[in-house]
Amino acid sequence: MFCKGFSAYGPYLDHVLEYWKAHQGNPNQILFLKYETLSVDPFPHVKRLAEFMGYGFTAEEEKNGVVENIVNLCSFETLKNLEANKGDKERQDHPSPFTKSAYFRKGKTGDWENYLTPYMAARMDGIMEEKFKGTGLLENGK
């Protein structure tokens, strides 16, 4: 279904591409972050996000570890272990076919390889190449 553009909120890859294009035309109005990039070194990206929102960190805040505290509070492990994200209790007003724990796996880039068969991965690679070729969104920069 996903490969045909069907998901709960519409064609996901089309949404990504449209936001990417909008970001290219309005980089000061639309911030585009990639999880893979953010996970390598979150500190400059947290600072970039704060600047983007108009609330950059002062030298004193940086010296006092505010950026580090935010990175820690927003880390995968912290978010995964919040009480609101544990268990199988779902919201009455927004039922979901997935348990809350289904949204958190390992928080590691490339973990998809543990869930997709080689055929599925090749199919996704083909779809991504077709959809994003020449945009700069692909991992290899094309």
**41-77 confidence digits (pLDDT tens):** 999 999 999 999 999 999 999 999 999 999 999 998 8
What is the distance between the alpha carbons of residues 90 and 96, in angstroms, rounded to a whole number?
7
**Domain extents for the chain?**
2-106
Structure-model confidence comparison of residues 140 and 124, the more confident one: 124
- Under 8 Å between Cβ of 31 and 37: no
pLDDT at 22: 95
The token pair at 75 is: 């880390």
**Does residue 97 have a pLDDT over 80?**
no
pLDDT at 119: 94
Q: Burial, 48: exposed, middle or buried (Cβ in 10 Å; 0-12, 13-18, 19+)?
A: middle
Q: How far is CA 28 from CA 32, 60, 89, 118, in A?
A: 10, 26, 39, 39
pLDDT at 142: 47
Please state the length of the chain.
Answer: 142
pLDDT at 84: 74
pTM, whole model, 2 decimals?
A: 0.74
